[in-house]
Amino acid sequence: MKMMCIIKDLMNGNPNLPSGFEEEVVGHNALAAGFQGQRQWTDFYPNADFPEALLNSSFDWEGAREPYILATENDVLNGIGMLFMKLLTNRAQMFADVRTFWSTDAVKEATGYTLQGDVADAGGFIHLINSGACCLDGSGRSVDENGKGIMKPWYEVSEEDQKAMLEATTWCAADYGYFRGGGFSSRFATTEKMPVTMIRLNLVDGLGPVLQIAEGFTIELPEEVSNLLWKRTDYTWPCTWFMPRCDGKPGPFASAYDVMNHWGANHGAISYGHIGADLITMCSMLRIPVSMHNVPSADIFRPSAWGAFGMDKEGQDYRACMTYGPLYK
């Protein structure tokens, strides 16, 4: 709790602090922040899982409020991805390790369960899990007018939603194998099938930032199956099973495995809804090429000037962004 208050004060400022805390009094007017943690901190002090989870959520002890952006492991690029999607959607953002690919055969061997439907067609799914920074909204316990679990814009989150998210979350003692200084990690399972978009901003030497986009769905597995697979990583961390939308064609979206195999880092930022088209338009405005996406071509809008850079859409994007240069320097 103390760490959470300090981070909020560093981001926002706090005029009520005593002399000696001049930096915290003024604050940094920060849009986003990060916490390094591993291992310079966590070998000796409690981890920051509690402040990361709650600051990224759409509420705290004062009720509903705009979520903060706080990237664990001080992953600046993932933090920027979270910030992009929060500004586009007004929703809390999930931070997760793109941890494990589970194929249809692997699930069958480990649990005896046979995947069916879309998830079987995708060849399996990806385990999204990280010790701290996933917002509690990611549990999918907020409900819409039809009683379906969603992630709401922060200004629509009710007290009932907040209570449901907290009831779905267990604060587990930190795993000493990772965090010798102790602490508490949030633990919940995403139990609703929700449309989501996972992105990763990568920095390429000599080129600059490029964005990867994977639209898909969270999936719900039978509880006994989920628990068996969950325990293969860490049972004290929040757990989301992600099925990217795949097309079976050669390339990064041939299967769920190919999505993970082409992913540019071990982290991903995840937002509610299929917002890939909005991200592509935003990236063209910011001159950030999109290196990988599964957004239907009919939904994509880029400036008409991109047409002067060839007929291949993704090549157009790279050449146009390089020619026009970054919007902000």
- Catalytic residue numbers, as ranges: 73, 97
Element (H, E) at 77: helix 76-89
Q: Which residues lie below 8 Å from residue 228, measured CB to CB, with a gap of 6+?
A: 110, 111
Cis peptide before 232 (omega within 30 of 0): no
SS3 301: coil
- Residue 318 CA: distances (Å) to CA of 74, 202, 264, 322: 28, 14, 17, 6
Retrieve residue 201's tokens.
Answer: 């901003």
Residue type at 52 in one-letter notation: E
Which has the closest alpha carbon to 9: 299, 22, 36?
22
CB 123 within 8 A of CB 103: yes
CB 137 within 8 A of CB 162: no
12 phi and psi, to 5 degrees?
Answer: -100, -30
Retrieve residue 60's tokens.
Answer: 């705290």
Which has the closest alpha carbon to 193: 106, 260, 272, 135?
272
Distance between CA 244 and CA 266 in Å, rounded?
16
